[in-house]
Chains A and B, each alone.
Chain A
Amino acid sequence: MPSPIELSEDTNITEGLGLDSVAVMDFVMEIEDALDISIPLDRIAEVKTIGDLIATAHDLKGVA
């Protein structure tokens, strides 16, 4: 990566982080390991931004 990226909940995971579809799936698997959750494929498809990912993880963890 050429320069550090400022992350916010609005950061788009593919465009903002420069990840292609393969890298996104690997990224998701790392998140799944770290949080001990499994994110179903249809839920992954709905995730566009880091905020979406946080909301999905909270939901799957049962955190309000």
Chain B
Amino acid sequence: MALFDKYAALIGQFASLEATGYNPFNVSFDTVLSPTEAMIGARRILLFGTNNYLGLTYDRAVIEAAAEATQRLGAGTTGSRVANGSYGTHRQLERHLADFYGRKHGMVFSTGYQANLGILSALAGKDDHLILDADSHASIYDGSRLGHAQVTRFRHNDPADLDNRLRRLADTPGDKIIVVEGIYSMLGDTAPLREFVEVKRKWGAYLVIDEAHSLGVLGRTGRGLAEAAGVEADVDFVVGTFSKSLGGIGGFCVSDMDGFDILRVASRPYMFTASLPPSVVAAVTEALNQLRHRPALRQQLLDNARRFHAGLADLGFNIGPEASPVVSAIMPDPATAFTFWSKLLEAGLYTNVSLPPATPKGLALLRSSVSAAHSRSQIDHAVQLFAETGRAMGLIGDQAAAPPEMRVAAQ
């Protein structure tokens, strides 16, 4: 038996996608031109699948900060913060994040994935309990497995089921830690956070919220769903990422919990990995500055999200009810999702295919993400390509949709 025989089914699926010439899990852009455009060979591709919510990857000040930091501090740190030392700019970014969230403590990780690994594995010890939303991101599941706590799941966005789970644990010793997300990355739906907070208080549990897709998107100042729901005081730990609205890479956690800094020598994904390079730290620091001082970016993002969401809804696509920057069209099956996706790419539009087990309820999704950097004409062009492709495949009717202006005005 060969080593990779255990992947036989996966190998077969991957090979059949490669054979079509369009494999959604193996796309390579030859050149990236802007937050919204790239080249594949000689073809110009409109990007609707990047999570680049605020379009800050090409912001002049962000790029200049990264370049200056590289010149001054070098290309990399070559070590971990615990074993080889932090740079002043790591600490500075942590203070900026804590200040932005109005929290006492901030901690930066080298990726968003590692932030969840590092926080969940360290917060919950052997006799504690992690209670996860069933539709949690892979990093939340993996972080839970990395630690030694008992892990159970509750039905997605279901406060009554969470209440049941905590009731069953009421007489069991150990701390109970609830983990939810702000915006769920597959369907773009948000958590019923006020109801979760009531359940959390009732049972004396702790609450962790992952704002990866809601930072810079939701809340009066862009802090995410907890701010939008007005429950920040009841959220014990906020986890997030730099790789979506902040346009870089890395992750973080902020908290008011006394003694928080002990995690720096207890969290293995923080201790045993190299720290972020100066360029990334400087770029993210400047992107956070932009996020804080340019609320118009967030308004533009929401306007764009509404326009795109309304456009697809008008065409008759089966999409989620909330106009979030993540807009997923539910496809009848994976084969249709692949065909739709490849036809869009052929026409010059890049989106994402999302399949089980990464998706909820076994859904096959054609997932798009909207950016503040998209122009009206880019959004309308994307909607037009969805219309043409959907009609050609018989997925939507032939009637002309109402102009997007009318739909947006009606909301």
Write the residues of chain A forming the contact surface with B, with a CB cutoff of 8 angstroms.
Answer: 20-23, 25, 29, 33, 36-42
Q: A37-B168, A38-B168, A41-B144 are in contact. Are A22 and B150 (CB under 8 A)?
A: no
Whose C-beta in chain A lies nearest to the C-beta of B155?
Answer: A29
**Contact partner, B151, options A20, A23, A36, A41, Cβ 8 Å:** A41
Q: A21-B357, A22-B356 are in contact. Are A39 and B362 (CB under 8 A)?
A: no
A44: min CB distance to chain B, Å: 9
B101: min CB distance to chain A, Å: 30
B347 interfacial contact with A, CB 8 Å = no
Is A41's CB under 8 angstroms from B152's CB? Answer: yes
Whose C-beta in chain B lies nearest to the C-beta of A21?
Answer: B357
Whose C-beta in chain B lies nearest to the C-beta of A42?
Answer: B151
Is A40's CB under 8 angstroms from B362's CB? Answer: no
Is A39's CB under 8 angstroms from B152's CB? Answer: yes
Is A22's CB under 8 angstroms from B168's CB? Answer: no
Is B152's CB under 8 angstroms from A22's CB? Answer: no
Which of B150, B153, B361, B362 has most chain A Cβ within 10 Å? Answer: B153
Rounded to whole angstroms, the CA-CA distance of A37 and B164 in the bound complex is 9
What are 29 A-B contacts with C-beta separation under 8 Å?
Answer: A20-B356, A20-B362, A21-B356, A21-B357, A22-B356, A22-B357, A22-B361, A23-B362, A25-B134, A25-B153, A29-B134, A29-B153, A29-B155, A36-B168, A38-B152, A38-B165, A38-B168, A38-B169, A40-B150, A40-B151, A40-B152, A41-B141, A41-B144, A41-B145, A41-B151, A41-B152, A41-B153, A42-B150, A42-B151
Known A22-B357, A41-B144; further 8 A-B contacts with Cβ < 8 A: A20-B356, A21-B357, A22-B361, A25-B153, A29-B134, A29-B155, A41-B152, A41-B153
The secondary-structure label for the interface of chain A is helix
Rounded to whole angstroms, the CA-CA distance of A28 and B149 in the bound complex is 20
Whose C-beta in chain B lies nearest to the C-beta of A22?
Answer: B362
B108: min CB distance to chain A, Å: 29
Whose C-beta in chain A lies nearest to the C-beta of B359?
Answer: A22
Query: In the assembled complex, which residues on chain A have CB atoms less than 8 Å from the CB atom of B141?
Result: 41
Rounded to whole angstroms, the CA-CA distance of A42 and B129 in the bound complex is 12
Whose C-beta in chain B lies nearest to the C-beta of A23?
Answer: B362
B374: min CB distance to chain A, Å: 33
Rounded to whole angstroms, the CA-CA distance of A54 and B325 in the bound complex is 44
Rounded to whole angstroms, the CA-CA distance of A36 and B166 in the bound complex is 12
Rounded to whole angstroms, the CA-CA distance of A55 and B145 in the bound complex is 23
Rounded to whole angstroms, the CA-CA distance of A39 and B129 in the bound complex is 12
Query: In the assembled complex, which residues on chain B have CB atoms less than 8 Å from the CB atom of A22?
Result: 356-357, 361-362
